[in-house]
């Protein structure tokens, strides 16, 4: 029987994904899941492996890639984003890098709407009140939030997820404004209003939802100057990447009331969260649940294995190559 390629898993994956991997590969399970493998431990785990399957949390830096054994031909990341993998270093080593696009669009868009509604309607406060047994009963002025239906929603980054959020928001009769590198064709824009700069978009946004990638250009995108361009009482939603927010500026705006609320699913330095967010009642906070459904996480794993199969089992170019 031919020897199976060796696949090193850097995270624990859904059972169905690990079962398929074990069918086709000599699988080396992740020795730990928390904290995620990185540095020398990740390099040691990849010794003798043909492929490496990583996920956000595994910092695959240039130093890690430079130290990987020559046997590693492909790194598949269990994610759409790949900012945790140094692509230039991978290219220099001739290592293929793949991601898992498309399959998590709907799940992440659902979470964005949950964050939007949760922040607007003070759901986090309400849940805490009920769990504490502190609800005194209905009252005409109790826990009034912000109406969502019919409001203006701004979207930064009108890719797959941004468009899926816009689709959901239209069910609430929201008017969609957006910024992206270029206007969408009419059949994709579906009446959404294009703004050629973020600065032009922000004054229109009673709600703002971020769906841009994490790049040097988007780091700190929502800083004090840009937040000031939002209407007073706007609500901010971030399901993109934590670093697109200047945390100190967002927290200051939440304290001053310039931002009425924020719904967040991602954070700079996660799993650490700026304590300023936890201390505020007008934040609705989730622990990076964007793709966290059984169906989506299995689909992500299968997509990662499809890419690994192409390279390691069939000698083909993978469908989702990013480097």
The Cα 112–Cα 286 span in angstroms is 10
Q: Is 288 a catalytic residue?
A: yes
* Among 241, 295, 298, 321, the one annotated catalytic: 241
Q: How far is Cα 15 from Cα 21, in angstroms, rounded to an integer?
A: 10
C-beta separation of 293 from 107 below 8 A:
yes
Torsion sign (Cα): 154, 160, 164, 165? negative
CA 265/CA 285 separation, integer angstroms: 6
Is 270 annotated as catalytic?
Answer: yes
Q: Helix, strand, coil proportions of the chain in percent (round to 5)?
A: 35, 15, 45
Cβ neighbours of residue 153 closer than 8 Å, sequence gap 6 or more: 116, 165, 166, 169, 174, 175, 176, 177, 205, 206, 207, 208, 209
Closest C-alpha to 273, from 259, 292, 287 = 287
For residue 35, whether the previous peptide bond is cis, meaning omega lies within 30 degrees of 0, is yes
220: left (phi over 0), alpha (psi -120 to 50) or beta: left
Catalytic residue, chosen from 73, 125, 170, 270, is: 270
Q: How many CA atoms lie within 13 A of 219 on its CB side?
A: 5
**Contact residues for 130 (Cβ-Cβ < 8 A; gap 6+):** none
- In the structure encoding, which two tokens stand for residue 59, read together? 């910092």
Catalytic positions, written as ranges: 241, 270, 288
């Amino acid at each position: 029987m031919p020897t199976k390629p060796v696949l090193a898993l850097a995270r624990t994956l859904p059972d169905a994904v690990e079962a398929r991997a074990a069918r086709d590969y000599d699988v080396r399970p992740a020795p730990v899941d928390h904290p995620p493998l990185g540095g020398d431990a990740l390099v040691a785990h990849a010794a003798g492996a043909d492929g490496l399957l990583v996920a956000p949390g595994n910092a695959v830096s240039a130093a890690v890639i430079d130290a990987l054994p020559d046997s590693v031909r492909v790194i598949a990341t269990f994610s759409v984003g790949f900012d945790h993998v140094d692509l230039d270093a991978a290219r220099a080593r001739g290592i293929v890098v793949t991601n898992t696009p498309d399959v998590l669009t709907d799940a992440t868009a659902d979470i964005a709407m949950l964050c939007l509604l949760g922040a607007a309607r003070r759901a986090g406060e309400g849940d805490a009140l009920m769990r504490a047994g502190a609800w005194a009963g209905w009252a005409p002025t109790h826990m009034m939030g912000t109406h969502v239906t019919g409001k203006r929603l701004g979207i930064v980054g009108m890719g797959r997820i941004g468009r899926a959020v816009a689709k959901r928001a239209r069910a609430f009769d929201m008017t969609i404004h957006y910024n992206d590198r270029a206007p969408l064709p009419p059949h994709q824009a579906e009446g959404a209003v294009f703004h050629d700069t973020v600065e032009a978009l922000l004054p229109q946004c009673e709600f703002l939802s971020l769906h841009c990638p994490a790049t040097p250009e988007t780091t700190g995108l929502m800083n004090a100057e840009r937040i000031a361009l939002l209407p007073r009482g706007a609500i901010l939603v971030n399901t993109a990447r934590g670093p697109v927010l200047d945390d100190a500026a967002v927290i200051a705006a939440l304290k001053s009331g310039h931002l009425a609320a924020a719904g967040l699913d991602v954070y700079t330095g996660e799993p650490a969260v700026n304590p300023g967010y936890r201390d505020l009642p007008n934040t609705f906070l989730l622990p990076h649940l964007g793709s966290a459904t059984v169906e989506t996480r299995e689909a992500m794993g299968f997509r990662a294995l499809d890419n690994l199969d192409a390279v390691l089992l069939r000698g083909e170019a993978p469908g989702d190559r990013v480097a």
